[in-house]
Structure 1
């Protein structure tokens, strides 16, 4: 057996990261958890890697991502001495930069998302925290690719086809609100593959083709948002980037900046504070001459990003700008990417919680719940899940139980990974308090609901 060669490339990266063996191991374990991997590496594991032992194939991208996040720049498998991208199997759908801005790439992603046997590969794709923030004026390559793929087509599209995509997107958004992303996202993926891809390949008047790309971008953005919400963060990031490409090709700055804002929310959810603020600021910078509702939408996310990095002055300044812009907006609320009083108070709650004001965040979330439309079951469940956790955090156990009962009212008919996460957190939190009658009542209801969902 040939003697293993020490991995000097990985050693150089470890020096650049200024990490100990244990710190790299811990970072790999944390990053792997985002992918659904339960890793237990320690100092000895890293020593073995440096001595020339290769990590498992499905772990190598995790090592790369952990190092990239620490160094603040992209890192490749080759650079770390861990092989090449072709040696990593099982993630072909979620990797490959070449097809992000092609129709085939979108179909490839959507087709895998439709297929339950392949969806696990997609949902465990790793989120990258080191991607450069794209610019709206880098649109030429995307547009050239789409035009090339439509060249010579005899099928033509019209305004009615665009209306079909818009209508289906609105319907899928309604299903998301009522039944959850686990039901809505496969429908969106199927519509992308079976209908939208054909429309994007078709010929037509330039104005109609641009409208179709904009409509498709809206749908892909929504699909990415659902993937993010279902904690499939690598997949959500891929959909978001495909939405950016379509928005750029459509010269649709509104959808482009709205998608960047969605990417900022994703980074915030994953606690990448600097990236969350960077993306939120980029979304605001990319916005065209915007109406007050879009301004409020973007400023609210900037406020949250500023709070995550501890900038109180900027966070509250952005919140004031959000409130002022929303006061000037009409009462209309878009089905996709809308912003209203409920969203404003939700942002206020997130800002206050990030800055350590838990009681204030509770008051703001209660205000958000009072004005949120009852039909938005998924949004209500998420808000109540967060509210109950914060009430529990400050010792208001019985108030938290009441909020968790409201959460269960919506959870009973939802199919959502995010809601499942709230359910699991609730059950863990209340377990030590079963001597309390209110807690026992909630626990009994939760146990019965878990049984019913398992049997469904």
Structure 2
């Protein structure tokens, strides 16, 4: 479905009109004929995989997504069917490809994640699905920010906002929050806080159930607040926002909680609040033991290495003993 490669920070920001129509050359006429029930199958599987991701981590969910893409979605995309069904299957596929790219990014396989994102853009454009297109660009902005490419992160976030002129308030909040993070990375304080205000205002207007894929809620907003404040030097404010984010996070989002508590403990440690950091690391270990996540593994390594200068403290010795036990269970 896609070729292996390295992440490219110089990739031009894709435009909707530039990628639309790229899947028209995919040959139809295969033995399978698709209908709207097949579209529903893809949507249902995407939701189930997203649930597994939240509960058990990308290490378990992504292989399932990749296998389903190869063995089921790929043949659907090559199948005959009405124009409405073919457009709908591309839209459904773009959601799943976006989610798979997000998982690859989260598992630190950035070149693969970028290729998934590009494929999701093509499918969304062919389906005339501006919302998934803009959401995918936002995912690419997040990836760029994770890798420290501030200017690229802001450019992608701005492009994502421009690509969704008819977005509802929840997606608007999603996009403005990413713009705020990108602006903070390039030290544009005025724009960053202006975007945060727009994010909070949009989120206050959001109604109904949060999206299964690419959703945005109060926890995500506070996470963006935390990033903005950290980038702009307000460490205490960043930690307070991250604590709020962790309190707002739904109980079922265990992978997100692993990242949130790991990041909070890391930031507390960077501020030399060692005992507070140990308390949060203890919460981190509770969830990390049951989640397969490369980012969780990264936080675990930070726990082991970051606490070594403080190993004479009783609280650090106790935490280190527990961490070793968790590590042995995960590698057994």
TM tier, smaller: over 0.9
The answer to which structure, 1 or 2, has the higher relative contact order (CA under 8 A, 6+ apart) is: 2
Q: Which residue among 215, 225, 248 is the counterpart of 1:371?
A: 248
Alignment of 1:182-201 (within 5 A): 182-201=59-78
Q: Which residue among 415, 420, 430 is the counterpart of 2:307?
A: 430
Q: 1:453 to 1:143 in 2, by over 3 A?
A: closer
Q: Which residue among 301, 307, 311 is the counterpart of 2:188?
A: 311
Q: Check if 1:221 corresponds to 2:98.
A: yes
Find the aligned partners of 2:25 and 2:277 in 1 and give their Cα distance. Answer: 53
**Structure 2 unpaired stretches of 5+:** none
SS at match of 1:138: helix
Q: How many residues matched?
A: 332
SS at match of 2:17: coil
TM-align CA RMSD: 1.1
* 2:198 paired residue number: 321
Q: CA deviation at 1:138?
A: 1.9
Q: CA deviation at 1:154?
A: 4.6
Question: Stretches of 4+ moved more than 3 A in 1?
Answer: none
Find the aligned partners of 2:208 and 2:226 in 1 and give their Cα distance. Answer: 22
* 1:354 paired residue number: 231
Q: Check if 1:138 corresponds to 2:18.
A: yes
SS at match of 2:67: helix
Q: CA deviation at 1:140?
A: 4.3
Q: Which residue among 258, 261, 264 is the counterpart of 1:384?
A: 261
Q: CA deviation at 1:276?
A: 0.3
The structure that has the greater radius of gyration is: 1
Find the aligned partners of 2:263 and 2:216 in 1 and give their Cα distance. Answer: 19
Q: CA deviation at 1:390?
A: 1.1
Find the aligned partners of 1:209 and 1:230 in 2 and give their Cα distance. Answer: 31
Find the aligned partners of 1:415 and 1:390 in 2 and give their Cα distance. Answer: 22
* 1:237 paired residue number: 114
Deviations 1:202-253 (A, max 9, x none): 1111111111000000000000000000000000000000000100110000
Alignment of 1:436-447 (within 5 A): 436-447=313-324
Deviations 1:82-133 (A, max 9, x none): xxxxxxxxxxxxxxxxxxxxxxxx2x55xxxxxxxxxxxx4xx311000101
Q: Which residue among 174, 177, 183 is the counterpart of 1:300?
A: 177
Find the aligned partners of 1:350 and 1:164 in 2 and give their Cα distance. Answer: 37
Indicate if the aligned counterparts of 2:30 and 2:80 stay in contact, CA closer than 8 A. Answer: yes
Alignment of 1:145-184 (within 5 A): 145-146=25-26, 149-150=27-28, 152-184=29-61
Find the aligned partners of 1:372 and 1:343 in 2 and give their Cα distance. Answer: 8
Q: Check if 1:129 corresponds to 2:6.
A: no
Q: CA deviation at 1:407?
A: 0.6
TM-score (norm 2): 0.98
* 2:127 paired residue number: 250
TM-score (norm 1): 0.72
Q: CA deviation at 1:258?
A: 0.2
